Amino acid sequence: MTLVKGEERVRAEGRVFWRWSPNPEIRVDLDKPNTSEKFDLTGFSLQIPNYSATIDVTWFRRTASDLTNNRGCLASLIPINLFSSDLPSQTSSHVGRLSTAKLSSGSKVRTILFHIVNFRDFTGRAILQNNHWEITIDRVENFEHLEKQVKEVGGHFISHVGRIRRIDNVDFDPEDILCPAYDSDENSSDLWSGLHYFLSFTRGLWSPPILPVGLDQYGNHVWQLWECPIVDRWRNDMQGWFNMDHQTLRDLFPGFWELWTCPTCHATISQAIFWHVESSKLVASTGGSIILQQAALESLAWLKLVNIDGTYSNNFYDSNRKIAEVNISELLKECGSIQNCIPNELADLLNYATSTGKTTGAGIISAIRNNLTHGKPSRLKRLHSVARQDKTIFEAWRLGKQYLELVLLYLFKYNGYYRNWILRRYAKQDRGEPVPWQITTD
């Protein structure tokens, strides 16, 4: 490979690889160039043979941790080799972190292959389609072995492989999957970002597609994208709505794509999914995650009642609809009559709601959120006193999580089955319960 700095060119041997631990990133690992002993790589970029791209690199000296860093499961420590001129020695070498890079020969592609990180197992092959694209997703052959390892010690692994092609199976510009669906100063309504958010909403963690490779009609590699999107380490304790059925993914995708590419809906949907994933992980503690859930629900209430249905004008909504409990209650009603009662299974939350005079799910989660964000000290003291003795706040989080999942499923026009973990536990092949609006329309 070639190092470039202005007019200066230096040849070096090395490799570019995806490193998993401690955090995923794309690295370049070089043998010391055949120059002076104190060669300084500051300001040098990287050129890859057969591609015209010049890639910016943040260089640093190799440390002992680069040689001995073994955190994470063995599956996640296997580097993905992206390019290698030779395997460098582990002495006198330089290490760099690559910025996002597109490598292109300028040719069109027939198909794009990619990997998916840390996605759940599901039955069958998932085929996602919209008006222009077909996305095929299969799990890797050694999925059970890799999943077992990552469950034991954590980390990341390639769980699935995928393929993108046009519905009409003609060649296309690989940049098409990165092009926004509509013109805007700043948006991420492209297919590649949409697939990331779609998979992550389904998984409840950031579970992205990575390292797409474009192949021409003869199978030659003519395009690549090197970037590190948001990705979470494997967690086996995430109880979400997805029922592990490939048909669920197929049925959900068209409705998701419709809103993802809608100029007036995209920003709200993107934000709601982001808050859903972050709150599902409890990254901001249980109380903080309740606040994120309600922010998402309130933004979706505006989207549904003002933007989609036109029930209220924007000015009227902003001036008169200031009570979160009322807005969320109407949102649940308009999204297939999602039940607004507090389930008997959430006994501690139900008891707390009774003591405060709240009779609806939207009412009690809004009250808890208000107490957490701007409640009087006496209210916070009472809430925390109750929370120390039972699972009130945790159960409020569970109810808010279910509301947010169901609202998004309804907006995506999904009419299949989902898992309601408040109601019961599920075996791997259990398809779950019909969505509430399916029951009311049958």
Instruction: Count CA atoms within 13 Å of residue 26 on its CB side.
Output: 20
> Where do runs of H (alpha helix) occur along 228-346?
246-260, 266-280, 285-302, 314-320, 324-334
Instruction: Give the count of alpha carbons within 13 A of 400, CB side only.
Output: 35
Closest alpha carbon to 76 in 10, 145, 20: 20
31-57 average pLDDT score: 76
Alpha carbon separation from 420 to 82, 212, 341 (Å, rounded): 41, 34, 15
Place of tokens 């107490």: 371
Mean pLDDT across 108-137: 95
**Cα–Cα distance measured from residue 70 to residue 201, given in angstroms and rounded to the nearest whole number:** 30
Q: How confident is the model over 127-159, as pLDDT tens digits?
A: 999 999 999 999 999 999 999 988 888 889 999
Counting every residue written for the chain, the total comes to 442
pLDDT at position 71 is 39
Q: Which two tokens stand for residue 424?
A: 């019961």
- Identify whether the C-beta of residue 160 lies closer than 8 Å to the C-beta of residue 137: yes
Helix (H) or strand (E) holding 96: strand 93-98
| 406 and 435 Cβ atoms separated by less than 8 Å | yes
pLDDT in tens, 353-373: 998 899 999 999 999 998 888
Q: Is there a contact between 95 and 66 (Cβ–Cβ < 8 Å)?
A: yes
Of 17-26, 79-88, 100-109, give the range with the top mean pLDDT: 100-109
C-beta separation of 55 from 101 below 8 A:
yes
Location of structure tokens 């925390």: 384
Residue 78 β-bridge partners: none
Average the pLDDT over 8-15 and give the result.
84
Residue 34 in this model has a pLDDT that exceeds 90 = no
Choose among 119, 118, 19: nearest CA to 70.
19
Average pLDDT over residues 262-267: 94
Write out the two tokens for 386.
């109750």
Q: What is the mean pLDDT of residues 34-63?
A: 76
**What H or E segment, with its residue span, contains residue 202?**
helix 191-203
pLDDT value of residue 68: 41
Nearest residue to 269 (alpha-carbon basis) of 389, 171, 181 = 181
Please report how the helices 361-374 and 324-334 are oriented relative to each other, as an axis angle in degrees rounded to 10. 150
Q: In the predicted model, what is the mean pLDDT of residues 3-29?
A: 85
Q: Tokens in use for 169? A: 């199976």
Q: What is the pLDDT of residue 37?
A: 56
Mean pLDDT (whole number) for 410-420:
97
Residue 393 CA to residue 278 CA, distance in Å, equals 17
How much is the mean pLDDT over the chain? 87
Show the tokens assigned to 165: 């092609």
Taking CA atoms, 412 is separated from 76, 124, 248, 251, 257, in Å, by 33, 22, 12, 9, 8
| Contact present, 94 and 88 (Cβ < 8 Å) | no
